Amino acid sequence: MPRSSSALNNLPVKKFPITTPQWLRACASLFAALMLIRSMTHECLDLVPQHIQRFVLSILLGFFKRSFPNSIQRFILSFFHRVIKRLLYDQFMTLQIEEYNGMFRNEIYKACELYLQNKTSPNTRVLRVAQSRRDITSFYHFVDKQEFEDMYEGIELRWKFKIEIVFQKYTKRSFELIFDVRHREKVKESYLPYVLERFEAIKNETKFVKLHTLKEDKYQIGWDAINFEHYATFDTLAMEPEMKKMILEDLDRFVEGKEFFQRVGRAWKRGYLLYGPPGTGKSSLIAAMANYLKFDVYDLQLSHLKSDMQLRQVLVATNNKSILVVEDIDCSSELKDRNYQPSKAKKKSEKQDSDDDQAPVLSLSGLLNFVDGLWSSCGEERIFVFTTNHKSKLDHALLRPGRMDMHIHMSYCTYEGFKTLARNYLEIHEDHPAAFGEIESLLQNAEVAPAEVAEELRRSKDAGVALQGLITMLKQKQKELNEEKKDEDKDK
C-alpha cells in the first residue's frame, strides 16, 4: 500500500558531501582571496626570514593533507601546493652548479666545495669529518641534501648539496644556490667571483701537495687523492750540483713561460724522461719537483686503462699545475704500435684471451697523442714525467722533443751525491777526511746506487761506524764488478 506524503516527510534525510562544482567555486574563491592576500603582503614577506616562511608553508601543507583525503581533494591539494609554493617562493632563484661541465671538472664546483667547509647550516645533523696527518684542521665531506647558509652584503643565500644516480650508472654531484631573484645580477657579478677569490685564498693558505691515484668502478674511472707526504727536496737529492741547477732553472723557465708558450703557439706543458738503474733517485726527483713547484702528482698506471678513450678521460680530469707520472713506461703496459701487425699465431692467442677481439686497446698512437697531441692542450702548466730503467726499449717517437723535452740520466752515486747523503743521514760535512777520501776513490770504480749508500749510512748513528760499513760495502761491490769483467773477458 502506498505511503502517505506525511510519512515520506518524516523519513530521515541523508546528508551528502559537497558536490564537485561547489568545491570548484570554493577553490576559486580561496584562490582569489590568496591572490589578494599576496598583493597586500608581498612587501611584508620580504621582512620575514626564509626559514620562517618555509616553516609556515610546511604547516599549511600538513593541514591540507589531514583535511582532504579523497582523490579529488588530493588533486585540489596538489594544485594549492603549487599555488602556495609559488606565493612564497616565486621571489627566489636557483643556480645549479654541477661537478662536471662536459668532460671537464667545473672550477666553480671545486671553489664551492672548499668555500662551504665552514658554512654548514644550524639544521645540519650529519657531518662526515676527516683529517690526515699533515692537515692542520679537519675537513668535512658533504652528504646528500646537506644545506649551508651564507650572508653576502645583506643578501641571504642558501646552498644545498645533492647527489643523484643517473641511469643507475653515474653519480652526479651538484650544488644549488637559492637566493632572492631581485639580487640575481649582484650574485652573478659579485658573489660568485667572491667565492672564487676566497677559494684561491683558502687553497693557498692550506696548500698541501696531493697524490692522485686512479679509481675505477663498474661504470666510470677517475681519481682519488691523499696528501703527498714525501719530504724529498732538491737539497736532499744525491745528485751532481750542476744537474740540480739545470733542472731548477728549467722548471723556473717553465712556470714563468706562459707568454712564451702563447707566442710560439705551443701547449703550456713540459716533458721529462728519467732513466737509469733502479735506486738512483727517480721517484725522489719527482717528489722534489712536486714540493718545489707545489704541483699535485697524478700517478698514472697504464695497466689500469683499457683504451685510448679512458686515457683521454683521465687526462682531462687532471687539474692545472700538476705533474702526471708514468713510472716504468717500458713495462707498465703492452702498447700496440701504430704499425702493429701481429702474426697469425699472435692473432689466435689474442682472440682466445679476449671474448671480443674487436675490443678497444691502449695503443702507442693514443699515448703519443696524449703526451703531444690535440688532447695534451686541454689544460695548462702540466708536466709529464716518464721513468724507465731501460731507455733503449722505448719507441723513438716517444723520445723526441715536444714529448720528452728533457732526458735526465739518473746515474750511480757520485762523490757529490755521497756528501749530500752523509749530510742528510749523519749530519757531517767531511768531518772524517780519511774515510771521505777513501770513499771518493772507491766510488770512481764501483757501481752503487744512492739508495744502497743511504741504506748503509742509516745502519748506525755513529758516523765512524756507518762510514766504515760503507767502505766495506764499496770494496765488496768493486770486487764483484772486477769478477764480472773477468768473466766477460773469458766469454769473449
Helix (H) and strand (E) counts in the chain: 18, 15
Residue among 44, 64, 58, 178 at smallest CA distance from 121: 178
Residue 374 pLDDT > 80, yes or no?
A: no
Residue 341, C-beta contacts closer than 8 angstroms, at least 6 positions apart: none
Query: Strand, coil or helix: what is 383?
Result: strand
Q: What is the pTM of this model?
A: 0.68
Residue 95, C-beta contacts closer than 8 angstroms, at least 6 positions apart: 176, 177, 179, 187, 188
Residue 23 pLDDT > 90, yes or no?
A: no
Q: Of the given ranges (115-119, 364-368, 419-423, 488-492), which has the lowest mean pLDDT?
A: 488-492
User: Could you give the strand order of the β-sheet that contains 406-409, starting from the edge strand earlier in sequence?
Assistant: 221-227, 210-216, 296-299, 322-326, 382-388, 269-275, 406-409
Q: What is the pLDDT of residue 242?
A: 93
User: pLDDT band for position 438 (50/70/90)?
Assistant: very high
Q: Grid coordinates 719527482 are at which residue?
A: 286
Q: What is the DSSP string of 173-220?
A: EEEEEEEEGGGHHHIIIIIHHHHHHHHHHHHHHT---EEEEEEE-SS-
Q: Which of 18-27, 69-78, 341-350, 381-390 has the highest mean pLDDT?
A: 381-390
pLDDT in tens, 443-479: 988 889 999 999 999 999 899 999 999 999 999 988 8
Q: Of the given ranges (6-15, 63-72, 320-329), which has the lowest mean pLDDT?
A: 6-15
Q: Please tell me the CATH code under which domain 221-340+359-409 is placed.
A: 3.40.50.300
Contacts 24+ apart (CB under 8 A), 99-102: 99/172, 99/173, 99/174
What are the extents of the domains in the chain?
Answer: 21-90, 93-207, 221-340+359-409, 415-484
In this structure, are strands 382-388 and 269-275 parallel, antiparallel, or unpaired?
Answer: parallel
Q: What is the rounded distance in angstroms from the CA atom of residue 15 to the CA atom of residue 13?
A: 6
- Mean pLDDT, residues 249-255: 94
Query: Strand, coil or helix: what is 406?
Result: strand
Q: What is the rounded distance in angstroms from the CA atom of residue 89 to the CA atom of residue 119?
A: 23
Q: What is the rounded distance in angstroms from the CA atom of residue 481 to the CA atom of residue 488?
A: 11
Q: Of the given ranges (151-155, 301-305, 339-343), which has the lowest mean pLDDT?
A: 339-343
Handedness of CA 71, 77, 78, 79 (dihedral sign): positive
Who has greater pLDDT, 43 or 212? 212
Angle between helices 415-426 and 463-491 (to 10 degrees): 150
Angle in degrees, CA 51, 57, 58, rounded to 5? 90
User: pLDDT band for position 14 (50/70/90)?
Assistant: very low
Find the Cα–Cα–Cα–Cα dihedral 464, 467, 473, 474, rounded to 10°: -140
pLDDT in tens, 26-70: 766 766 666 666 555 554 555 555 566 666 666 665 665 555 555
Q: What is the DSSP string of 274-299?
A: EESSTTSSHHHHHHHHHHHHT-EEEE
Q: What is the DSSP string of 123-167?
A: T----EEE--TT-SS-EEE--TTEEEEEEETTEEEEEEEEEEEET
Give kind and range of the element (H or E) at residue 386. Answer: strand 382-388
Residue 340 pLDDT > 60, yes or no?
A: no
Q: What is the DSSP string of 215-284?
A: EE-SS-EEEEEEE------TTT--S-HHHHHHHHHHHHHHHT-HHHHHHHT--SEEEEEEESSTTSSHHH
Q: What is the rounded distance in angstroms from the CA atom of residue 419 to the CA atom of residue 436?
A: 9
- Contact (Cβ atoms closer than 8 angstroms) between residue 232 and residue 284: yes
Q: What is the rounded distance in angstroms from the CA atom of residue 404 to the CA atom of residue 125?
A: 52
Find the Cα–Cα–Cα–Cα dihedral 206, 209, 211, 217, rounded to 10°: 40
Q: What is the pLDDT of residue 450?
A: 93
Q: What is the pLDDT of residue 338?
A: 47
Q: What is the pLDDT of residue 1?
A: 47
Bridge partners, residue 102, by sequence: none
